[in-house]
Structure 1
Amino acid sequence: MDVVSTVRRTIDRYGLLLPEETVVVGVSGGPDSLCLLHVLNRLRGQYRIELHVAHLNHKIRGNEADADAAFVARLAEEWGLPCTVEARDVPALAREKRLSLEEAARRVRYAFLAEVAKQIGAKRIAVGHNADDQTESVLMHWLRGAGLAGLRGMLPAISLSDYRLLEGEDWGTRDKGQGATPYPFTLIRPLLEVTRAEIEAYCAEHGLQPRFDRSNLDTTYYRNRLRHELIPYLEGYNPGIREVVRRSARVIADDYAYLQAELDRFWSQVVISESDEAIKFDLAAWRDLPPSFQRSTLRQAIRLLRRSLRNINWIHVEDARVALLEKPAGTQVTLPRGLMLTMSYQTFIIADEGYVELPADLPLLAVDSLPLNIPGTTQLPESQWHVEARLLGRNELPPGWEDNQDPWQAFLDRDVTGSELILRRRQPGDRFQPLGLGGRQTTLREFMINVKIPARWRHLVPIVASPYHIVWLAGWRVDERARVREGTKGVLHLRFAQSQ
């Protein structure tokens, strides 16, 4: 089957093109992208699409890279196609981001292509990955210890937001906000069923003269070592190894799609809660899963919490899985990119290292402030908790009130507090006089640190305040000025309680 027929079959099988759309075509000037552009240009009438050429000078190969950019711009002009050519200092970005040159170039390139698509209103971006690239990618993932997601190789079409290259970073694009935006762009690979040899033959047949990138011969790059050393070596054992690997990838991709559908069902059975910061699991329910779904739920959690993470190594997942099956409560397992798995007796959480779970059994404040009903009951918004306020005489204090062991109730001097109290969150510059410090004033921040209130929910701790000062840091300490003294006549009794 000739190249055009193979590409047409791939487009139709996977629905890669839609009529009346513009497709951004990434063109480096090499054989793959030149073949891609030529074939799509021949097919654009049949599929009723428009093409826009995009070329990025990575500033890696000096004058040769400049010549590549000029070549692509001239070719696009000759073929009557609109073209965007720009440059990025990839070596500088690689140093800044502490990435390999290959990885930095890939991320910058896709960010650039997404930027071009956004500017011209395109939804699809075509790149020249071919069948031999697929073989190399699958082998790279296998050598790294990838799971099924990696072993399925590159997909004919994938959302760039799923590709996990653009989120949370600024990759030198003009649109500085782009790094954090999940883009509705689809990356398509029309040449994925075409071999490198077929591409080179196509270029020769049609008089195309691609640019030659000498860095493709540099075996200091990992992919090039696979291409020029490992794969030829494996062909000594099986001359058809390239197609064998690709066929395995197609089978794995089908299996993966089925398992993902099953994962959605299992996910709801084992996940107690999830947010952008943390995912909490039911440990017993998770342990009841088959091993494959134990791994896939862990991978899914890591993906959801680290969307820019491109690869998740098998060893990270397996270490976590074994710990969850064998280790006691309190065990922690380090995961990629600053994530930590923490086990409890009945649950486990995957979250940022140092994450502190919001306690469900505390009356934390979901709003900035609200007035207290005195006397009466005040319901906390979005909470099972309320505050009861009672007015007592000095002689009505209950026995043992001075040794109050409930941190969520307080006995206060009514003449000091007044009746215009509010419940609020902390504010910048808050200060108070904690009971027991002899009237010494301290900042609320310093006090919270000293009594080890977790930083993550300090801003949610309810504070009872008068128009003049804090009278009670609920759950922790009454203000010295509001305490009940010998001469106190009227008492305000505040108590947090859970609603029935």
Structure 2
Amino acid sequence: MIKKVEKYIEQYHMIEKGDRIVLGVSGGADSISLFFVMLELSEKYNIDIVVVHVNHGIRGEEAKQDEEYVQRLCKERGVEFECVRVNVKELAKQQKLSEEEMGRKVRYEAFAKIAKIYNCNKLAVAHNQNDVSETVLLNLFRGSGLKGLVGIEPVRGNIIRPLLCVERSEIEKYLLERNIEYHNDATNFETNYTRNKIRLKVLPYVESEVNERASEHIAKSAGILSQASSFIDMEACKLYKRCVKEQDGVFEIRLESFETGHIILQREVVRKVLFAIAKKQKDIEMSHVDSVLELIKRGAGKRVDLPYHMEAIHYYNKVVLRKKTLVKKEKLEKEAVIPGSIRIPGTNMELSFELITVEEENRRELEKLYAVKKNDYTKWFDYDKIRNTVLARYRKTGDYFECNSNGNRKKLKDFFIDQKVPAEKRERILLLADGNHIIWAIGFRISEYYKVSSGTRRILKVKVDGGNEHEG
């Protein structure tokens, strides 16, 4: 087995001379065999080993015996030993995770902490070939994509898995031949955990009733899929760079570029975005990726809920993915001060109002000014046509304006749809309103009804400072 493992280490360039390696050792067969294998190879590679044992505080006296056994092994062989004790049950409750998830989390946190103290550059863990097949089946049953069917990678960042090439039976034979003791974790034989159900029930049945080498074949298939996945990932990264834009945790997928990619690459791009927002991969399944792709087909204005409080919204030329915001729409109704000015809460906008009386002697001058003004944020209105108190507010049901000189009305909602204004942005567009009749949708257009004409006697001049908040 040693030669097989050594060949595997060299195949994946796991170890280089002078490495300082943290070794996760629980006391079970896998980690104990890894301990002795690494000891045998330490002289050849000139590596230093630091053993880390994590006591999860779950199995009482058994856990204590495991800790003492691993400590004794290290002491007898002059290997640095560190033990980290945690109460996994209590932490799992606090963080609302399963004990299995919490246990994994605290182990890797402990490994990283000790690695920093001892200036270690790598971490070796004792996953074997059977773990690969269990992981593949677990991910398959959960609806994982291609990444999940790859199983467990031999090298991921600074984590190495030298025993991934050997089966559990080979490990047990290696220990038996050398008369090396190891401890069995009783929780590994309980079917409370999903992985244990696959290990203890599913795989044994498949190997006895379908193919006795099923576990080996699954692991080999995972290796082939890993190569395919690497190629797909490389191509997906190219598409990602072309079509994904991120700002402040909000991701935009620009559809014009996105839709040039093959469906497999599109799926990978969506997965990458979801992982980036959630900052984790667990519970993000292929069905969630497909729901985003289906959203694109359904047309603009649609949205879909996703795990970890994420959402995807389809706008006209893009899909936006992000964490949901719980910001309530601000209620705003500010009366215009004529003449005077008002500030709009929650924005940098200030509206100033001026009333101009049109006299015969100044009419021509005013007409010239009106003809040449080009400022989108300064507007003139026929003040005498306004029937109610002028309010600065956000939109309400029933809002409308007159869209032409014939007096035809258009609902504000329909106007925003025609202008392809995203639904969320509509809620934050400031309006000047005369009841439900919109005088001015600031940054967009005014109602024809209030336009200044030759018969206008009084002009309401409105100027907006900070109005470009509505742009973009």
Q: TM-score, normalised by structure 1?
A: 0.68
Q: Residue 211 of structure 2: which of 225, 238, 243 is its match? A: 238
Listed as ranges, the matches of 1:472-491 within 5 Å are none
Cα distance, 1:493 vs structure 2 = 9.2
Q: Distance in 2 between matches of 1:495 and 1:158?
A: 50
When Rg is computed on C-alpha atoms for both structures, the one with the higher figure is: 2
One-letter identity of the residue aligned with 2:230:
A
Which residue number in structure 1 is paired with residue 241 of structure 2? 268
User: Counterparts of 1:448 and 1:154 in 2: how far apart (Å)?
Assistant: 56
SS of match in other structure, 1:279: strand
1:229 lines up with 2:201 in the alignment: yes
2:173 is aligned with 1:201? yes
1:345 has 2:316 as partner: yes
**Superposition deviation, residue 495 in structure 1:** 8.2
In the alignment, structure 1 segments of 5+ residues that lack a partner are: 160-185, 357-392, 412-434, 438-446, 462-473, 476-490
How much is the aligned-residue C-alpha RMSD, in angstroms? 3.8
One-letter amino acid of the structure 1 residue matched with residue 377 of structure 2: W
Q: 1:306 to 1:497 in 2, by over 3 A?
A: closer
Q: Matches of 1:211 and 1:306 in 2, distance apart?
A: 37
2:268 counterpart residue number: 296
The residue type equivalent to 1:27 in the other structure is: V
Q: Give, in angstroms, the shift of residue 409 of structure 1.
A: 4.1
Write the distance in 2 (CA, Å) between the matches of 1:230 and 1:148.
Answer: 21
Contact 1:134–1:154 (Cα < 8 Å) also in 2: yes
- Relative to structure 1, the CA distance from residue 157 to residue 492 in structure 2 (aligned partners, 3 Å threshold; closer, same or farther) is closer
Deviation, structure 1 residue 275: 3.0
Q: What secondary structure sits across from 1:340 in the alignment?
A: strand
Match of 2:113 in 1: 115
The amino acid that maps onto 1:154 is I
Match of 1:136 among 111, 134, 148: 134
5+ residue gaps, structure 2:
328-355, 381-388, 397-421, 430-441, 444-461
Residues of 2 paired with 1:352 and 1:216: CA distance?
Answer: 37
Q: Does residue 310 of structure 1 match 2:282?
A: yes
CA contact (8 A) 2:377 2:464 kept: no
Specify the SS of the correspondent of 2:308. Answer: helix
Of the three residues 39, 42, 50, the one matched with 1:52 is 50
Separation of aligned partners in 2, 1:493 and 1:332: 33
Which residue type is aligned with residue 272 of structure 2?
Answer: Q
Partner of 1:18, secondary structure, is: coil
CA distance in 1, matches of 2:465, 2:215: 75
Change (3 A) 1:407 1:44: same
Misfit runs of 4+, over 4 Å:
393-401, 404-407, 447-451, 491-499
Indicate conservation of the 8 Å contact 1:409/1:496, yes or no: no
Instruction: Give the drift of 1:268.
Output: 2.7
| Matches of 2:279 and 2:394, distance apart in 1 | 32
Provide TM-score, normalisation by structure 2.
0.71
| Paired letter, 2:264 | S
Amino acid in the other structure paired with 1:249: A
Q: How far apart, in 2, do the equivalents of 1:210 and 1:189 lie?
A: 19
Count, aligned residues = 377
Q: What is the rounded CA distance, in whole Å, between the counterparts of 1:22 and 1:448 in structure 2? A: 65
CA shift in 2, pair 1:398/1:322, >3 Å: same
Partners of 1:493 and 1:97 in 2: CA distance: 49
Contact 1:339 1:350 in 2 (8 A): yes
Which deviations, in whole Å up to 9, do the C-alpha atoms of 1:82-112 show, x marking residues without a partner?
1110201100111111111111111111111
- Per the TM alignment, residue 408 of structure 1 is displaced from its structure 2 partner at its CA by 3.5
Q: Any idea what SS the aligned residue of 1:86 has?
A: strand
Distance 1:242 1:448, change over 3 A: farther
**Residues of 2 paired with 1:406 and 1:315: CA distance?**
49
Question: How many angstroms does 1:346 deviate by?
Answer: 1.3
Structure 1 position 406, deviation (Å): 7.5
Identity of aligned residues (%): 31
